[in-house]
Structure 1
Amino acid sequence: MEKRSVFTFFKKYGFIAIILLIFLAGCSGNINEPIDEQTTGFFNHYFVYNFSLLIKFLAKLFNGSYGLSIIIITLLIRLAVMPFMLKQTRSSLEMQDKMKDIKPEMDEIQKKYKGKKDKESQTKMQQEMMALYQKHNFNPLASFAGCLPMLIQFPILIGFYYAIRRTPEIAAHEFLWTNLGQQDMILTITAVVIYFIQSKVSLIGLDEQQRKQMAIMGYISPIMIGVISLNAPAALPLYWTVGGVFIIFQTLISKRMYLKHKKSLETK
């Protein structure tokens, strides 16, 4: 049986963790209260407030376009964490390939000790599993490092999220067809569709069992985005739409880079 841990859960449901942290962070204060230099709290002062200043600064550079400011900052954030995400994806794909190679032998070992719960049998099974890992140069603890890019993004994404909600100037401006301070059904639907596509793209290259395990995210993420967007100003689904499109291309690029790297190794 596959061993589960908080890290396994985090890798599979990292996006949900982001959303939960967003709401948990919101419990500490009024998420609709305007942010300024007098606002107390370390996170508010050093993350939310500075993002709010950056939003207003870029908006002034682009003739008061807060929509364009949000798009630019979103892309800058995604570009900043992209090297970490590419490394994470490559590491994840390498782990998946190695797991495919060693799974038959793992199944044999587990079958050999099935039903044997005594300490001696369990110790022998662990020793054989460790020998198998060494044989294939497989480190199951390496998956823990895959959580790092997600952890790095937390304060950045959450800070930007609250800066959008707590910068009142945004609500007074329009972008394209919508008022950024009001709910917008078109942007909400767009964000939902984009994240549904993104979830499907993330399944490319996975085997059938992995696809089934991850399939639920193809529905949970878009639904959560939709529910939140329906009760939020249009600036938020705009932010998620831009970020989602970037993630789609980032995922496609990282998977293609890995396949190219894998083929080059096989030809050597």
Structure 2
Amino acid sequence: MNKKKISKLLPLFLLLVVFLSGCVRRTSSGKPYGWIYDNLAIPTQHLLMWLAQQLGNNLGWAIILITFIVRLILMPVMLNQSRKSTIQQEKMAVIQPYMKDIQARTKAAQSQEEQVAANQELMALYKDNNISMTGGIGCLPLLIQMPIFAALYAAIQYSPELSSSYFYGINLGQRSFALVALTFVIYALQGYMSLIGLSPEQKKQMQSMLLISPIMTAGITYISPAGLGLYFFVGGIFACLQTLMILFMRPRIKKQVAADIKEHPLKVPAKKPRPVTPTGTEKESQPSTQQEEIHQKNRQRNAGKQQHRK
């Protein structure tokens, strides 16, 4: 993942933090109020308390049940997004040699005009083949879940009954370092699983995602009550299951992409990219000096034989 992709994810992380921690104010006596609290937190409090009563007065299982329902609803959206991302990865593998050639020429450019021209050529390569610069990574599932995050956060944070509840020794209204660690591990595992079956070049490009996603999720868990951390951790388990489903689907997706490319070939430069030296300069297509000397000696030897015959 390059810096441009990272710069697109960081604002989403900051927006989520602000959305979770803001919008709920307190009166001078400490009573919470505001749109988030009145319209999201209070209904969520009632729902959680009702579910907890149905589950043996266990609020932790109520949060897990809500997580299961939310993830089940979002599963088609997430699988569709993962499928599109896999298709993008397969297309990227096809145009990889041309990307390397353009990137090498960008580094070896002697002027700003040459760099701009190479960047435009790279963008045209993406555009002509309908390839996303972000690799098909979408934000829709995160945006859909943001109101749920805010509702759970406010409901647990500002409810005396919920904040004093325990789940296997964990106070759901306080920060839990155990859930922070578990959340980091489960999303790191999900990131590792997502690299299975990719080429070495694609793995290298996506390696930073192995740390960015777990760190972001663990960071939100750290500043949130353990009840919301439990939601994230269980959601990470579902993310791993979703990744397993994509791994089983990947061979079929590869065949489909190969068939589509065969029927509708990707638009690539007519001239194949030439190899590039480590210094960034193109190798000369002319024969080397040593080869030229050998050819010159052979020509002189043949000329001498012809004169001897005469």
Which TM-score tier does this pair reach, normalised by the shorter chain?
0.7 to 0.9
Contact 2:185 2:214 in 1 (8 A): yes
Residues in 2 aligned to 1:243 and 1:262: alpha-carbon distance in whole angstroms: 28
| Match in the other structure for 2:18 | 24
Kindly state the Cα deviation for residue 59 of structure 1 after the two structures are TM-superposed: 1.5
Deviation at 1:184, TM superposition (A): 4.7
Q: Work out the CA distance in 1 between the residues paired with 2:126 and 2:180.
A: 49
Shift of 1:69: 0.6
Aligned-partner residue type, residue 64 of structure 1: N
Distance 1:190 1:129, change over 3 A: closer
1:86 touches 1:254 (CA, 8 Å); kept in 2? Answer: yes
1:88 is displaced (CA, Å) by: 1.3
Report which of the two structures shows the higher radius of gyration computed on alpha carbons. Answer: 2
TM-align CA RMSD? 3.8
Shift of 1:171: 2.8
Letter in 1 for 2:55: F
TM-score w.r.t. the length of structure 1 is: 0.73
Match of 2:249 in 1: 257
**How many Å separate the matches in 1 of 2:97 and 2:229?**
45
What is aligned with 2:47?
Answer: 54
Q: Which amino acid aligns with 1:170?
A: L
Q: Which residue of 1 aligns with 2:160?
A: 168
SS in 2 for 1:75: helix
1:81 pairs with one of 69, 74, 88: 74
The match for 1:91 is 84
C-alpha change, 1:227 and 1:127, in structure 2 (3 Å) is closer
Q: What is the match of residue 245 of structure 1? A: 237
Q: Please point out which of 6, 9, 25 is paired with 1:9.
A: 6
For 2:175 and 2:114, locate their aligned partners in 1 and report how far apart those are by CA, in whole Å.
62
What is the Cα deviation at residue 66 of structure 1?
Answer: 0.8
Question: CA contact under 8 A between 2:84 and 2:136: conserved in structure 1?
Answer: no
Deviation >6 Å, runs of 4+: none
CA distance, structure 1, for counterparts of residue 225 and residue 144 of structure 2: 26
- Tell me the distance in 1 between the aligned counterparts of 2:202 and 2:79: 20
Residue deviations 1:33-91 (CA, integer Å, cap 9, x gap)? 776xxx322x3333333333321221222232211110001111112222111111111
- Residue 207 of structure 1: how far off its partner (Å): 3.2
Q: How does 1:98-177 map to 2 (within 5 A)?
A: 98-109=91-102, 111=104, 115=109, 117=111, 122=116, 126=120, 130=124, 133-134=127-128, 137-140=129-132, 146-177=138-169
Q: Is this contact kept in 1: 2:188–2:213, CA < 8 A?
A: yes
Change beyond 3 A, Cα 1:109–1:212: closer
Paired amino acid for 1:236: L
Structure 2 stretches of 5 or more lacking a match? Answer: 261-310
Q: Secondary structure at the match of 1:103?
A: helix
Cα shift at 1:257: 1.8
2:56 maps to which of 63, 77, 80:
63
Instruction: Give, in whole Å, the separation in 2 of the partners of 1:244 and 1:23.
Output: 18
Aligned residue in 1 for 2:228? 236
TM-fit CA distance, 1:187: 4.1
Give the superposition deviation at 1:231.
Answer: 6.4
What does residue 65 of structure 2 align with?
72
Q: Distance in 2 between matches of 1:111 and 1:195?
A: 34
Question: 2:190 aligned with 1:198, yes or no?
Answer: yes
> Which of structures 1 and 2 has the larger relative contact order (alpha carbons within 8 angstroms, sep 6+)?
1
| Aligned-partner residue type, residue 18 of structure 2 | L
TM-score computed with the length of structure 2 as normaliser: 0.65
8 Å contact from structure 1 (residues 116, 122) kept in 2:
no
Distance 1:246 1:185 in 2: 21
Please give the alpha-carbon distance, in whole angstroms, between the structure 2 residues aligned to 1:148 and 1:265: 24
Q: Distance in 2 between matches of 1:230 and 1:154?
A: 17
> Cα gap change, 1:59/1:203 in structure 2, threshold over 3 Å: closer, same or farther?
same
Q: For residues 194 and 261 of structure 1, do their structure 2 counterparts lie closer, same or farther at Cα, with a shift above 3 Å needed?
A: same
Q: Is the CA contact 1:202–1:251 (under 8 Å) kept in the aligned structure 2?
A: yes
Structure 2: distance between partners of 1:4 and 1:75: 34
The structure-2 alpha-carbon separation of the partners of 1:224 and 1:110, relative to structure 1 and needing over 3 Å to count, comes to: closer
